[in-house]
Structure formats: structure tokens, C-alpha cells
Amino acid sequence: MPTAAASGGATNQTVPAKVLDCDTITQVKEKVLEQSWKGMSFSQRPHVDSLHLEWRAGVAGHLILSDEDLTSVVQGSWKRLNTLQHYKVPDGATVALVPRNNKHHLHDSHDYMPGEKTPMLDDGEEGGVRLWHLVKASDEAELPKHRRGSVREKGGERAKAIPEIYLTRLLSMKGTLQKFVDDLFTAILSTSRPVPLAVKYFFDLLDEQALQHSITDPETIHIWKTNSLPLRFWINILKNPQFIFDVQTSDHVDAVLSVIAQTFMDSCTIADHKLGRDSPINKLLYARDIPRYKQMVERYYGDIKQTISASDQEMNSALAELSRNYAAEVNCHVALHELYKYINKYYDQIITALEEDATAQKMQLGCRLQQIAAAVENKVMDHTKSGSRHPHEDYKNEARDVARYGGAGVPPWSQAWGWDPSESAWWLGCSSRDLAGPSPKERREAIPQWAHHLQGEP
């Protein structure tokens, strides 16, 4: 395990970096880069492909190392990637990261430099070279093309070939990470700090819906809450930390995070998982910890239920504050259109529910939704002819909406929702000047006067 003294980075200082003699040159550059730019966000670091690895051997001069060059070992259609051992780099050697002079590389670049990271060609019949590092992939050169496995299948075969001796190392790594995993689950499932208002409000809504529909099975309510918060939000964050942090997740880190995310997912379920000798190793690793995590999830849901309920006014104020704080970062038109696509899927059920709800009748929500549907779909609803209240069964007029409303496929906010006082006359019967207006049933019998301008082509 050579220790390379790496020079480079933001301060051009020499720092020690632990590498392996079996590391490829790209792997060495990644490790040296991590040490040289430690503490700096990923987006501020240079990309590994924008740098050369230079071995500085004193009076012997400087040598640029690369994954592939004229000294690479080639056996038939196989070419082995160069390693530190290939170049006979000794322990304690000094290497430097120097910028490339002939090409600028970005983080998302897919270009390849001559003599470095040549793309892998699996088709030996066309003269391609197959690259390998420590273990060769299964040689399928003798098989017909239609019988050659995919890259994913090859990866699965290699995964199954892992010797059982690595299980001890796996358990050791699990023990090293155990405290961090416990702290993570505790931070997520703790109510020691105030629960976000949106979480409390939504969980109370789920409890109210269960009570309203006479759903007494606690497992059903548990599943609702699990699907809405842990599985929809936290699992996504656990598997993709780059969504909120300026970091890079390697393939190895991604595999570890997937195991932790799966453990969190199993902890949120009520059903017991029966494990056996043939169960996946990732499930066996945390089999003894999952019952304890399940208790944490149930306690978390129970503690939220015991906290003080959030009123509609508090929730509206919180949403208004969020809107003000992030007004410049959110495209309201796109958000409204995505929300309407969901409404369009269940339009009849929503309209029926709004007509039967006393509060919705008082606020004329059914009326407003019908008018929004007509504006967004650019289609007047004539229910007496169609026999259905559904405004539009598909999105065949979406292209016309895009042409009319400038790409988002929806009308302006004030026009679509009718909240602009200057547009009160446009909302026939639903404006602040005329809160009574015709009922939703009466409105379905006639075409709204304001909608006549939508009948013509744009």
C-alpha cells in the first residue's frame, strides 16, 4: 500500500495520500484529488479528466502516468489497465496533479483523451479491445451475439462470484457504520425538535380521512403515512445525497446507501420479513436491528399524533411564507400544470366530492375547478351533449395551450385561478363581488360567458 506524496490542489502544498499498488491511474488521481481538495465542495473541484498524474522521480525526471499507453499489457483482445504496480511506483513516491494543456474537460464531459480511458469495445469480431483491471469479465467471444449477456447480467455474475471470505469484512464494515446509521435514523424519526408544520397537518388529514371513511385498521393508516413521508421523501434523500449536498457519490458509496435505504424501508413496514439462508445479504446485515427501528417509526408516528394540531390558517400562513421566500426559484405555471394533470385524472370524483362538501359549496370550489379546466384545456365543457362532466379525456389540445400560453401549457396564474381582483368580472359568479352566483349544477347546464373567447383557434 504505497503512500504517495501528492502535490497540487488549491494551496499547492504536498499532502500524503494512501493508495494501493493495484489502483488504476484514474483511481489514484481520484484519491489524490480527494486529499488535495479536502473540505472543498465537489462543484469547486477540478474534474479528474482535466488533470494528468505526473510521477516526479527526482533526477530521473517526470513521467505522465495514464490508464492506457504503449506499455499497456495486451493479450489477444484483452488490454489490462495500467496500475501503479505496472509502472513500478515505489512507496513514498511523489506525484503531482497537473492540468491538461490540450483540452478542457467539464464535469459532464464524455470525451476521451488519446492514451487515457479509451472507451470499451466488447465486439471482438469488429477488432474491439476489451479492458480489464483485476478480474476479467466472462469471456463470451465464442458465443453468438444474440447469446451474449448484457452489462447488467455480467455484473450480476461477478457479484455472485464474491467469495464467502468477504462476509467477515462486510460485517466489520457494518459495525463501523452502525453508529452513523443509528444517528441518522434517530435524527429522522425524532420529535425532540418541533415537527414540521406540513408533516403534522398532513398526518392529521390522513387520520381525519380514516375516521371519516370508518377505517379502523391501524396498519392501513400506518401505510398511508409511510408512503407519504419516509418512502416518498426520505428514501430519495438517502439514496441521492447529491440532491441536497454538493458531493459526488461513487458506485461503492451508492451501493452502501442503497443498503441503508432498504433497511429504512423495511423498518417502516409492519409486516415481518421472514429471512433464510437464501435471503439477500443486505437484508441479513440489519435483520437484528430492524425490530428496534420499527419501534422508532411507530413511536415517531404516535408522538406526531399527540402534538398540537395545526390549523388551516397556520398552514396557509406557512405556505404563503414559503411562496414569498422561494418565489424566484419556482415556476408556478409548471407546478400548476403538473397539479392539474393529477386533477384531470380524477376529475369526476373530485367534482362530485366538492359538490357534496358544505365548505366547498360555500367557497364555490366546484365552479372554480370547472372554469380552471376550461381555461387550461382550452375547451368549453358542453355536458348536455357529451353526457360527461370530464373536461378533456386526453391532452390533444395541449400543443394549442403551449402556443397560447407560452410553453407552460397553462394560462397565467391570475387568469387560471381568478385571484386577481382586476379579473373579477372574468370569473362569472365566482368573483368577490358576487359570491353567491349560480350553483355548480346550474353552471354545467350552460357555457360560461367568459369562455366564448376559447372556442376559436389561437
CATH 1.10.506.10 segments of the chain: 166-315
The residue type at 390:
H
CA-atom Rg of the chain in angstroms: 31
Highest mean pLDDT: which range of 303-307, 338-342, 449-453: 303-307
pLDDT at 219: 92
pLDDT tens for residues 319-329? 999 888 888 88
- Of 17-26, 233-242, 376-385, give the lowest mean pLDDT range: 376-385
Q: How far apart (Å, rounded) are the C-alpha atoms in residues 262 and 280?
A: 11
pLDDT > 90: what percent of the chain? Answer: 32
- Of 14-18, 306-310, 395-399, give the lowest mean pLDDT range: 395-399
Reported as a pLDDT band with limits 50, 70 and 90, residue 141 is very low
Q: Which residue has the cell 443509528?
A: 182
SS3 track for the chain: CCEEEEEECCCCEEEEEECCCCCEHHHHHHHHHHHHCCCCCHHHCCCHHHEEEEEECHHHCEEEECCCCCCCCEECCEEECCEHHHHCCCCCCEEEEEECCCCCCCCCCCCCECCECCCCCCCHHHCCCEEECCCCCCCCCCCCHHHCCCHHHHHHHHHHCCCCCHHHHHHHHHHHHHHHHHHHHHHHCCCCCCCCHHHHHHHHHHHHHHHHCCCCCHHHHHHHHHHHCHHHHHHHHHHCHHHCCCCCCCHHHHHHHHHHHHHHHHHCCCCCCCCCCCCCHHHHHCCCCHHHHHHHHHHHHHHHHHCCCCCHHHHHHHHHHHHHHCHHHCCHHHHHHHHHHHHHHCHHHHHHHHHHCHHHHHCCHHHHHHHHHHHHHCCCCCHHHHCCCCCCCCCCCHHHHHHHHCCCCCCCHHHHHCCCHHHHHHCCCCCCCCCCCCCHHHHHCCCCHHHHHHCCCC
pLDDT at 203: 94
pLDDT tens for residues 248-278? 888 888 988 999 999 999 999 988 878 877 7
CATH 3.10.20.90 segments of the chain: 3-103+117-160
Say if residue 156's pLDDT is above 70: no
Reported as a pLDDT band with limits 50, 70 and 90, residue 67 is very high
pLDDT at 405: 43
Query: What mean pLDDT is predicted for residues 444-455?
Result: 40
Reported as a pLDDT band with limits 50, 70 and 90, residue 414 is very low
Give the CATH H-level superfamily of domain 166-315.
Answer: GTPase Activation - p120gap; domain 1 (1.10.506.10)
Reported as a pLDDT band with limits 50, 70 and 90, residue 102 is low
Query: What mean pLDDT is predicted for residues 126-142?
Result: 71
pLDDT at 384: 36
pLDDT at 60: 67
In CATH, the number for domain 3-103+117-160 is 3.10.20.90
Q: Are 62 and 76 in contact (CB under 8 A)?
A: no
Say if residue 34's pLDDT is above 60: yes
Q: How far apart (Å, rounded) are the C-alpha atoms in residues 169 and 174?
A: 9
- Of 104-108, 156-160, 374-378, give the lowest mean pLDDT range: 104-108
pLDDT at 12: 62
Q: How far apart (Å, rounded) are the C-alpha atoms in residues 423 and 29?
A: 62
